[in-house]
Structures are given as structure tokens and as C-alpha cells.
Amino acid sequence: MFKDNVQAVVKISCGTKVFRVEGRQVFGFELDQQSWGFDGSVRFIVKKDDDDLLSWFDDDDLMTLDLTLTVVLGEDAKTKPTPFVDVSGLVTGRELRELATDDQANQGVSFREYWFSFADPAQVLLRQHCPALLYAEASLADAIKENLASGVKVDATMSAAKIDRPLLCVPGGSFYDYLCWFADSHGGYFVYDYAARTYELADSKAKPDSKTSISLDKHHVARFRHGFASPPRAEVRVHNSYALQPKTVSSSPTGSVKGVSRDRLMRSAIAGDIDSVMQREGARLPRRGRTMTLDFQRCPESAVEPGVGFTIDTDSFTSQRFGVRDKYRCRQMSLSATTDEPGARRYSPGPWASYELDIESVFETESEASAAMPEYTAPPFPMRAEGQIVCEIGGDEERPYAIATDNNTGLSSYQVRVPLWNAEITVLAQPQFISGHMYFPPYKNARILLDIDFDEADIVRYLDWGPGVQMPMDSQGNQILFGRGATSETSLKHSYVDGKSMLAVSRIEGADTELLTLQDGGLVLQVKEDSSKASASESVDLSADVAAASGELTAASKGAIGNVTQGFSDGQAELKEQMNSSVGKTEAALDDMSAAVSAKASEMKSKADASTAALAASAARLNAQSAALKGDLENEKNK
């Protein structure tokens, strides 16, 4: 602690409203300046009659606080000092206390004491900005431009931030934490430029400007001490678990101990990815060099803030002292100050005041590569969202699929549209949750659930059934549907009819339909051309629909054709007896392969009456089939 004379100026703005206080009215302040930003607080007192602040003190509009601190030198000073603190932040907290002097204790308020806390704009605004966004073919620099609040400027000069990525995800956490995480995980820096009042994502630390560099002598420095951080003891290892080509690469920094490792697990089919990850992981663990901490015994006469260059005055300190000839960069500066007048007595207007101050600065060598980062929370990856498969083949009601293969990597992928952000992204084509025995790529417009990471996405599950796949609940059916759509598909369907299971395999290709039905005691094979697409003379009255076939042909016991009773007249009883007597012969015929059945169907077709062209009534169709079967049975009997 030391005592010095300082001119403190505080300006508070809210829209067009401005309030200014300075000198002895400011009786306390604190400030912590880091390479990424700052935060602090200030206390001051205002006479009731001069208080223009009270009327808008509790406004909800954004308030800005400017704090300027300048040391007051004697009249014989050779140079005019510049502010050693000059910051502009946003108000984060407010307090008000009303006071009265001792002799006016019972006469109401005489003074008001105000307290404000403040911080740099990015900490205040971007920590509260939590966007959930998805970009396609964009860079982080593009995302930053769209997510900056008014008054916050971030320059994304970092090479990794300028790479256009197939997809880029901002998953909904604090955007401030997101930027810090990106810089930290990609070997970069997140820094605040106190002179320009801007932020930067950078690949390296800026070299101090010689025009603003300072040199302090023994009159300013009470003591300085050097700190030496322990070097990292772990070697860095990156493991790629890709089963067809697993690989491990490692790096042993200076000072590492054998048997101590820091592992990073990844999975990628691209061989070169492991080297990129290794480069990033290695960049995160540079050896932290020494630091030099200065305790001041007098206020500096120019800015001592992060980024400013610094040298030790060799005229004041012997060159034999450790590190005295090195060049340094300011890494941190913290200060606190109070006046010694309590209560309302401290109100004594004047341009400056005498303060008890504690100022400490931490410097690093200009060559220091380690990054100083604020505490942050890693982004909440993965972000989960719905998408739809994109396919240029076929119509909207069809079920085609499309898979693209990258010529450089050989990897296959789907195109997925995420409607919420109107973004079309690439997702790796994999079997997902089914065995490699089966090949069922997601069809056009299929709804899918995605897990979206920083620059890649995976399909979590499928969210809908395709057109025509679902079955009525009454049937208690299950179905696998193959093919592109209703005019070109094959189905494997299992359902229940009258409480009995039925298995049907159906193929449709344009007008052609084939149906194989297995149910209790019967097997039916039907081949037809759709009546709406073929002439009546070319058609056979056999339905491809499983439910219709079941209604027209009810299986008889022991695998026979069965009793065809519906639509028969009373005069057909004799026919039924003849059909029952020929069960054995008919069963043998049905046991033949599809060629024999098809031949029989052709014979039945040739004997069908031409008058059944309309084929509209089920009774008419059954009568025609019955007549054909009766003729066949009589011929067999006559033999």
C-alpha cells in the first residue's frame, strides 16, 4: 500500500443522459485488468442538491461507465502524465445509500452514496447471448459477424476461424464461452485491445508497440519478484480408434516424465486427421515461462495495461539483478484505492484526492507463448435437432435414396436439410443401429434426429414411417417395404385375419402384380396386371392385395382349395361335394411349383367368360371361377 494523489473521473451514460463525477467525490475504486478483459467497481458521493443521477439511476436501459485515473504530479514535473487507467465498460450492478451529516441527522437526506460495478462489454453481453445456430459452408468468422451485440467488435484473424466448414454449430451456450473454448481448443488466443477497445481471436500474441512501451525506475517500483511455473510433465498422445487403421501418435515436451500421458481419443477414417488433432493438442500445452510481478510504490505516469511493453530502468537497478535486461509484456494489472474520510465528511469537492492505493502488475517475457484464458464452460455439444434426407431422385411421395462419395476421402454421405435453420449439411452414411447384414439407407424426405457437434453430425434415430408402411392396428401387422414407391415396390407383410396369422409377399411393378400368400391351411400365388392399366381380355380376376385375396379365397382344411361358398347359388351343392371328393388330387396339383400353378391359371383364364370384362362384382367373379373349376372336375371324373 502507498499513498498518492490521483485525479479520478467517472462518467456514467444511459442513452442521451450523462452524469459525471470526479476528484474527491470519488472515494474508492477497484479494477482488475486481464489480457481478455476487465471488471471493477467505483464508489462516489453526491450532494442531494447536485444529484441529477437519481432520476434515472434505476433505469433498465444499458448503462456505460468510463473510468479514467491520472496521477497528479507537482508543478515542477517535466512531463504531463497520461492516464494510467482508461477503460469503458458496461454497468453490471448498482447500489444506493442515502446519508445525512451529524448535525442534520433528523432533517432528511443530505447526500447519496452510489456504488457501481462494471466489466468489459463482451463479458457483459456475450455471456448472456446464448444462440443455438447451425451454418452450412461457413466459417467461425461468419458466425461471429452475425452474433455481435452493439458496441462489441471481435476480429477473427485466427486461421482456424477463417476456414469454411461443411457445417458449423453454435449449440446454445454462452457465446462468450464459445469463443474462449474455440481459441483454447485450437491453440489460439482471445485477447482484448485496451487502446482500440476491440477483441481478437488470434494465432499469436501481438508484439508490444514500442511507442506505448514503458520503463519504470526505482521510484515507482517497491519490489519485483519472479515466478516459475512447473512445466507440463505429461506427454501428449492422440489415439485414432478407427478399426481398419488404428493409430497412435505422441509428443513429449521438454520436462515430461515417462509413463505420464495426456490422452486424446478420436475416431476418423481419414488418416491425416490424427496429425491435425495432434497439432492442436500440442499447441494447448506450451511450457509457461517465468513471470515478473511488480508491486508499485507510486502511481505510473502512463498506461500499464495488458499488452503494453515494459523494460526495467537499468539506471535504477543494477544489471546484475536477474532478468533486468529482458523485454516484457504486461499480462495483468490490478489495483484498489480508498480515501480515509468516513461517511458524509468525505464530501469535499476538488479535482483530485489522496488515496491509499495497492497496485500490482504481472509481466511475461515477450517470447511467452502460453495463453491466458478466462474461466469458461465448454459448449454443450452435441446439439440435437431434426432434419430431413435430401434426394433429387423421384417424386415427393416416393422413397428413393441418394448417397454421395467423396473423391478425396472415399467416404459416403447423405445430404440432410435442417429446416429450422434452412441449412443443408453433410452427414456420414453409416449402418447406424442395424447390422451390416442389412442395407436400408434413409429414403427421401425421411425425418431424422441429429446429434450435431462443432463441425460434424450423426444420425441418432429415424422419426417416421415411410408412405404405405404403417398397418392398421386391427391387423396387428408388421411390414417391411422395399422399393421406390407405390408403383414399384416389394412388401413382406405379416398380419392377422380372423385371428389367424397370414404372411404375404407382394411385388408391384407398374401394371404387374405378383402376390404370394401363406395362411392357415393354404398357399396362394396370384399373378395379374392391374385392371386399370390393362384391357379386360388380358386381365385375370385375381387381386394383388392381401386383404382382397383373403376375402375371395378362403383356405379349406388340409391345404385344399377350400369351400367357396359366398356368392354360390343353392343349386351348386353337387359341385361342392365333387370339389371335396377331389381334395387329394387338387392338393397334389398345388404342391407343384409355380410353373404348374401358372399353367392352371392360364387354362382357367382361357375358359373364363368374356362377359366378365368389367370385373366389378365379387359374386360374378366367383361364379366364373366356379364354372371353370366344375368343368375341370367333370373332365377328370369322365377319365
The beta-carbon contacts of 346-352 under 8 Å, at least 24 apart in sequence, are: 346/24, 346/27, 346/45, 347/24, 347/25, 347/45, 347/47, 347/111, 348/24, 349/23, 349/24, 349/25, 350/23, 350/24, 351/7, 351/22, 351/23, 352/5, 352/6, 352/7, 352/8, 352/23, 352/24, 352/72
pLDDT band for 79, please (50, 70, 90 cuts): confident
DSSP secondary structure string, 66-98? EEEEEEPPPTT-SS----SEEEEEEEEEEEEEE
Residue 52 has pLDDT above 80, yes or no: yes
* Least confident residue range of 22-36, 314-328, 340-354: 340-354
* Least confident residue range of 158-167, 495-504, 569-578: 569-578
- pLDDT tens, 332-385? 999 999 987 655 555 677 889 999 999 999 999 998 988 899 999 999 999 999
- pLDDT tens, 543-583? 334 333 344 433 333 333 334 334 333 444 443 455 454 44
- Identify the sign of the CA torsion 580, 584, 590, 591: positive
Cα 327 from Cα 323, distance rounded (Å)? 9
The overall average pLDDT reported for the chain is: 84
Contact between 77 and 11 under an 8 Å Cβ cutoff? The reply is no
CB-based contacts of 323, cutoff 8 Å, min separation 6: 226, 290, 292, 312
The predicted pLDDT at position 577 comes to 53
* Least confident residue range of 27-31, 36-40, 105-109, 117-121: 105-109
What's the distance, Cα to Cα, between the start and end of the chain in Å?
Answer: 128
CB-based contacts of 639, cutoff 8 Å, min separation 6: none
- The stretch 115-144 carries a mean pLDDT of 97
* % the chain with pLDDT above 70: 79
Cα 413 from Cα 425, distance rounded (Å)? 10
Other CB atoms within 10 Å distance of the CB of residue 355: 25
The predicted pLDDT at position 574 comes to 47
Q: Which of 230, 191, 234, 174 is nearest to 371 (CA)?
A: 191
Cell readout for 618 is 365379387
Q: Of the ranges 30-39, 74-83, 271-280, which is most confident?
A: 30-39
The predicted pLDDT at position 214 comes to 87
pLDDT band for 297, please (50, 70, 90 cuts): very high
Q: Is the peptide bond before 442 cis (omega within 30 degrees of 0)?
A: no
φ, ψ of residue 237 to 5 degrees: the values are: -125, 135
Contact between 118 and 40 under an 8 Å Cβ cutoff? The reply is yes
Residue 168 has pLDDT above 50, yes or no: yes
Cα 386 from Cα 388, distance rounded (Å)? 7
- HSE of 58 in the Cβ direction (CA atoms, 13 Å)? 4
The predicted pLDDT at position 104 comes to 52
- The stretch 34-44 carries a mean pLDDT of 97
Radius of gyration for the alpha carbons in the chain, expressed in angstroms and rounded: 42
The predicted pLDDT at position 315 comes to 76
